[in-house]
Structure formats: C-alpha cells, structure tokens
Amino acid sequence: MEYVRSIEHKDVVHRCFRCGYCKFPGDYQDFNCPSYKVFGWDTYSPGGRMWLIRAWLSGEIETSERFAEILYSCTACGSCQQHCPFPRFSDSLLKVFEEVKAELVNHGRIPPTVRDYFKAVSVSGNPYKMPREDRAKWAEGTGLEGYSGQEFLLYAGCVASLDEVGQRMARSVGKTLLEAGVSVGILAEEEPCDGSEVRALGEVELFRQLAKENIEDFKRRGIKRIIAMDPHAYDAFKNHYPELGGTFQVFHYTETLVRLIKEGRVRPRKLDARVTYHDPCYLGRRNKIYEAPRRTLKAVEGLELVEMRRHRENSFCCGGGGGNFFTDILGRGEQRPGSIRIKEALATGASILAVACPICAKMLSDASKEQEESGKLQILDVAGVLAGAS
C-alpha cells in the first residue's frame, strides 16, 4: 500500500468523524447524496467513503472491486461539500475522492465501464465511439458556421453533439444565438472532447493531454471567448484549463441568454405554462450560477416559475455527474436519482421541467419515460422554453 502516499490531501482524511450532515439538504427532510439514496449503506455516503479511504490509507483494507465501485458511485455533485459544517475540511472532500480515483486508475483497479469510457475517448475522441464527422451533424440546418474568427466559439460537448436529446438542446441554443445576431462559430467535426468527465473519473494524464491539445488549438485559432452548452465543459474551461495555461472568457449559454434579453436582442413572447427548473450540479453548486437560468425563464410573459422543494444549493443531482452518465454505476430503480427528480418536478404541478445541461436533459428524459405520469411533464432546455414561447 506504499503507493497511496502520493495522495495530496491524505492528511485531512482523518478529520471526518462521520457526523452525517453531508448526506442531507439544508432542510434535513431527505437524503441528498445520490449514491447513498440508491444503495442505502453508509459506505456509499460521503462520510462512509472518507472512513473507507482512511482505512485504505492505513492498510486496514485492501484495494478491491468493491472499494472501487463505492468510490466510482459518487456523482461529484458537491452536495457533501456544500453541507459539511467544517468549511476548511469541506473544501477537500471532492479533491480527496478525485485523488483516490486517480490512484485506482494508475494501478488499473477500476470498474470495467470506467475502463471502457477511457478507451473510447482515447481511441474515438468521444465516449460514444462514433466517427469524428458525426460530431457536426447536430448543427445541420441551423445556419451555424465553422469558427473563423467570430466573437464567440459555441462549444457543444460530447453529449450535446452526439446524443439525440442533447442534439435538440444544442440546436435550440444555436438557433437562438444566431437569431439574436451573436457572432458565433462552431468547430463542428473538429470539436474536441473537453475532458471534464475524464478528470472526474481520475484519468489525470489523459485529461491533461486533452486539455493541453485543446488549449493549443484554441489559441492557434484565436479563440478568446467561449459559450459552453454543457456545465461540465464550462467547469473544465473555467476552473481547470487555466492551471494548464488556457485562460479564456467562458460563459454558460444561460448567462448569454439573460444578457441578450436585457439588451433587447432576444424578445420572449408569451407562454402560459407552469415551469419548474432543475439546477445542474456543475452549474449551481460548483459554479454558483443560479440566477441566469431563472431570469431567462422569468422573462417569458405568462410563465409561472415554481421551485421544487430541493433547489439551488440544495438541488438533488440527476445522477449523471462524475462520469455516471456513461458508467451507469448507480443503475435503475425507484431510487434512481433521475426518477426521484421527476417525481419532485411532478409534485410542483408544472407542465414543463426546464434544464440547462445536456446530461441532465438526457438523464431526466430517460427517467421520465419510466414514470406513469410522464406525459404530464415536458422536458425542455431553457433555450427551448424560449423558442416555445409564442
């Protein structure tokens, strides 16, 4: 077990004494940790993971498939970090989990689905194993042109480029920006993987390789300002690329929409509907962007915005973060995070569930199909809500 000494934050692991606050939202009415909610064992909670890691570091337990599965069931949603009562310690929670996964990667002790994800990204440049030219198909018919010095690069990401649900979101965002007269271009089939999920799953070297190649390419093209559709890509570009020399102005598309509405370049009309909004973890808790999506929705005349019980910093994860969108370690069933979230949305009486992340859109759309009352709830991205206003 000598190799585990390379974990940077190992000296803070013992500070967790499993008080349990990390498992709850602010109102303490339910459990807010997705993996704990699914499996029900304390080892799948943040405090339980920390206890296991402490035992692993001291050699009390060995590296095993079970240990790896527990570590990789974390969706990196950040709820534990948000609700841990010890500020100096809480900042290290997600870093510890990431560092342990990196050690598991370095020594080949990872779940098969995680291994397959890394291989797909390394070989195909995307987790879907699809040809590079397929990455441009979502933009057909939108009028979007290849980047050639426009003010903004519109970055779609793997899910918005290659998943059917994500593609619908990408088209609605792209069309809205063009109609508002935004100078924006795309990389189409040349768009790279941003590496966010690669990093979350612990393949640090592959992430660094992807990020450095992307930074070099963006600089060569003269890209300075990026509009990201995916909060995961937004987080990578904004918070992790600068460490590798890539400093760009990065905006989530909802930040751009609210600015365009304020400038009068997007003019929402009327939509008589009750709408609830799901906060993506990587947009909300990780980057504190709560207002831009809500202001965009509230600009639509006739739209009634209602909140789910768990929202903003207390929002419940869709279950797709931390690479689980691709690895599916959390599995199916009534306690699946997406299913729980759909029930919460239905409880508001809303007819539309608005989302601002292609991963959330896909996870919640799939979960909705399993609900008997799914026909009562339409899932649309924020730009799609604007497009539906008439």
Q: How are the residues of the chain apportioned to helix, strand and coil, as percentages rounded to the nearest 5?
A: 50, 10, 40
Task: Provide the pairing of β-strand 301-306 with 270-277.
Answer: parallel
Q: Are 91 and 68 in contact (CB under 8 A)?
A: no
pLDDT given at position 374: 59
Give the type of residue at 68.
A
d(CA 156, CA 63): 37
d(CA 70, CA 61): 14
What is the C-alpha radius of gyration for the chain, rounded to an integer number of angstroms? Answer: 20
pLDDT given at position 390: 43
pTM of the model: 0.94
Tell which phi-psi region holds residue 331, choosing left (phi > 0), alpha (psi between -120 and 50) or beta.
left
- CA 143 remoteness from chain centre: 27
The residues pairing with 276 across neighbouring beta strands, listed in sequence order, are: 306, 353
- CA 19 remoteness from chain centre: 27
Question: Domains in the chain, please, with CATH?
Answer: 2-110 (no CATH), 127-257 (3.40.50), 268-388 (3.40.50)
pLDDT given at position 1: 44
Residue ranges of the chain with per-residue pLDDT less than 50: 1-3, 5, 390
Residue with tokens 């699946």: 336
d(CA 250, CA 358): 17
Q: What is the largest CA-CA distance in the chain?
A: 64
pLDDT given at position 132: 93
- Tokens standing for residue 38: 């699914």
- Tokens standing for residue 223: 């890209």
- CA 237 remoteness from chain centre: 13
> What secondary structure letter does DSSP report for 149?
S
pLDDT given at position 93: 86
Please write the tens of the pLDDT for every residue from 135-156.
999 999 999 999 999 999 999 9
Q: Are 344 and 316 in contact (CB under 8 A)?
A: yes
- CA 322 remoteness from chain centre: 8
d(CA 96, CA 8): 8
d(CA 20, CA 229): 34
C-alpha distances (whole Å) from 58 to each of 4, 48, 187 are 9, 16, 48
Residue with tokens 């035992």: 55
Other C-beta atoms closer than 10 Å to the C-beta of 85 total: 9
Residue with tokens 């304390």: 42
- Tokens standing for residue 242: 């600068």
